[in-house]
Amino acid sequence: MLVNQNNIDALAWDKMDNLIPAIIQHAATGAVLMQGYMNQASLTATLTTGKATFFSRSKQALWVKGETSGNFLEVQQVLTDCDNDSLLIACTPIGPSCHLGTESCFPEQKLTQQNFLSQLEQVIEQKKGEDPKESYTAHLFSRGTTKMAQKVGEEGVEVALAAVAETKEDLLGECADLFYHTLVLLADQKIELSEVMAVLQERHKK
């Protein structure tokens, strides 16, 4: 069930002394970032402000993730499970989610290969402002849209040639180049990978 201000009371608050575990998931990659607890007040604050807000069992008080570090969790969606006694919250993290400085409190988890594209998309975005002399990605951005589009075209041709005249390893390498340069072009145009995926999903329905 999609959780909103109108159905908070429908959650099973009585099971755990008015607390519900909340699993925080990266909205883009699907990675599990952290787990905390929410009461009705913190969930209301989360839905109202758009920033993940938890209930601290040790301090017996509400706390906004990032209120001291600046590493906020911007909420995209709040779901509850079939028993209405736990929450799955999709967030866009601003900085590391773990107090130890790692992206996730579960740093050993392995993302699926498909989700790695979303992770790469974020890395590309972060490198926009770096020194073009030090970062190939930043160098691509510095050349402008026309050059980036031209590069994608070149990589597309190289993929086609590799498919008919080269080895499997060559084709894999050229496909990787094409995917990467396409993500750079999308970032330049301020288009998220999720928007492309939405088009594919809509076509699949037809």
Write the pLDDT tens digit of every residue in 149-159. Answer: 999 999 999 99
β-bridge pairing 32-38 and 53-56: unpaired
- Residue-wise pLDDT for 27-74, tens only, equals 878 889 999 999 999 999 999 999 999 999 999 999 999 999 999 999
CA distance 4 to 79: 9
Distance in angstroms between the alpha carbons of the first and the last residue of the chain: 26
* pLDDT tier at 147, thresholds 50, 70, 90: very high
DSSP string, 111-169: --HHHHHHHHHHHHHHGGGS-TTT-HHHHHHHH-HHHHHHHHHHHHHHHHHHHHHS-HH
Report, as an integer, the average pLDDT of 111-125.
78
The reported pTM is 0.66
Question: How many Cβ atoms sit within 10 Å of the Cβ of residue 161?
Answer: 13
Is the pLDDT confidence value at 111 over 90? Answer: no
What three-state secondary structure class fits 8? helix
Query: pLDDT tens digits for 83-108?
Result: 999 999 999 999 889 988 888 898 87
| pLDDT grade for 204, boundaries at 50, 70 and 90 | confident
